[in-house]
Structure 1
Amino acid sequence: MTDAHAGPALLLRDFVNTLDIDAGADGLASPGDLAGWLAGHDLVPAGTAASDGDLGTAIDLREGLRAALLRNHRRAAGEPAAPALPPELEDALGALPLRVTLASGPHPVLRPAAEAGTAAAGLARIAAAIADASADGTWPRLKVCHEDTCLWAFLDTSKNRSRAWCNMSTCGNRTKTRAYRARRRASAAGPPAGPPAGG
């Protein structure tokens, strides 16, 4: 699978990655940041304004999507299901109504029901990308890094969908090193003491 075939998935990945947990950098720190990001991804016209309410919806959508991608990761790894998705995700999706239209071609498509050229319409286009990624088969391949200090979103293009980290040389190495050190500490502590002799 090439990036050219993963448009909706890449949009979702980039949106989730507006928060770099490892670096502590938030690309959506203000309504102006949100408006600029939406315009930079051709989701709204340049100069579109965003409100504090739009920003709150965007943050809820972003963090809800991060939780959903963590569930995708755990499903692919055969781990038990992650906790329920945060209710803020459903609230955000409910605030971004979509409509089905046949006017765009032979197939039905989801379009924002919000007024065109608003931040809400841009966010609704991100919500529509969830359905688009599901339809084109890329949704289950969207994951977040297994390293809990990272949680960077990525598209798993491996054949068997087994990729666990955004980058093996950094996050994979951190996780493996931490596990190795924990095993060494446990080994150095020795086996647990048995019951006292006699009695």
Structure 2
Amino acid sequence: MADAHADPALLLRDFVNTLNIDAGTEGLARPGDLAGWLAGRGLVPAGTAASDGDLRTALGLREGLRAAMLGNHGRAAAADAPDLPAELEDALGALPLRVTLAAGPHPALRPAADPGTAAAGLARIAAAVADASADGTWPRLKVCHEDTCLWAFLDTSKNRSRAWCNMSTCGNRTKTRAYRARRRASAGDRPADG
């Protein structure tokens, strides 16, 4: 199967966003949801089945990617990169990948599994991490700092300092909470009228 998604960063963002924490919706609740999501993005042929094990791997991969993207905030250099979350390490270790030189001018990771399996689709998502790293977009993949959101986004700001998926909602929530906390703290410091 050909490389199904032209932009690896957007594929990774969309995969992480299959769980909408703020709205409380899970896009990968059942194995069939996973199979449909993978097929809908051209990562596996239509009609590909997914098992409970594939779904567990997918959820570990997704939440591990979310944690890794959270680590992309404020990362000055690759040397500062934290260890990968254990769930991400486990999911990546379970996916069959191989290095190929036939993919173009540079070596690339490709699924080693039968292309008609959910594991191959998940391996394509894992390979997108390497592709995003190679094209420089991986450090720009972040998740919203608002802990009730954690929505993945691509930080396109010039100085790579964006912290929220949307300043008008999540940024405003965070700043309002901080302001109220400061007001409460300063009110607690005032002497009581006697």
- The TM-score, its normalising length taken from structure 1, stands at 0.88
Question: How far did 1:99 drift?
Answer: 0.7
Checking the alignment, whether the CA contact within 8 Å between 2:96 and 2:119 is kept in structure 1 is no
Per-residue CA shift, 1:152-198, capped at 9, x if unaligned? Answer: 000000000011100000000000000000000001111699xxxxx
Checking the alignment, whether the CA contact within 8 Å between 1:32 and 1:50 is kept in structure 2 is yes
Q: Percent identity?
A: 86
Between the aligned partners of 1:93 and 1:82, the Cα distance in structure 2 is: 17
2:51 maps to what in 1? 51
Give the counterpart letter for 1:41 in structure 2: R
Residues 191, 97 of structure 1: CA spacing in aligned structure 2 closer, same or farther, 3 A cutoff? farther
Higher CA-based Rg = 1
2:174 maps to what in 1? 175
Between the aligned partners of 2:43 and 2:191, the Cα distance in structure 1 is: 59
Do residues 166 (structure 1) and 160 (structure 2) align?
no
Secondary structure at the aligned position of 1:94 is classed as helix
Give the counterpart letter for 1:8 in structure 2: P
Secondary structure at the aligned position of 1:88 is classed as helix
Secondary structure at the aligned position of 2:109 is classed as strand
Q: What aligned pairs does 1:42-191 form with structure 2 within 5 A after superposition?
A: 42-75=42-75, 84-190=83-189
Checking the alignment, whether the CA contact within 8 Å between 2:39 and 2:46 is kept in structure 1 is yes
Question: How far did 1:94 drift?
Answer: 0.6
Give the counterpart letter for 2:44 in structure 1: V
1:8 maps to what in 2? 8
Residues 192, 116 of structure 1: CA spacing in aligned structure 2 closer, same or farther, 3 A cutoff? farther
Between the aligned partners of 1:175 and 1:106, the Cα distance in structure 2 is: 45
Give the counterpart letter for 1:31 in structure 2: P
CA RMSD of aligned residues (A): 2.0
1:30 maps to what in 2? 30
Count how many residue pairs are aligned between Structure 1 and Structure 2.
Answer: 185
- Report runs of 4+ in structure 1 exceeding 6 Å deviation: none
Between the aligned partners of 2:101 and 2:136, the Cα distance in structure 1 is: 21
Between the aligned partners of 2:186 and 2:169, the Cα distance in structure 1 is: 26
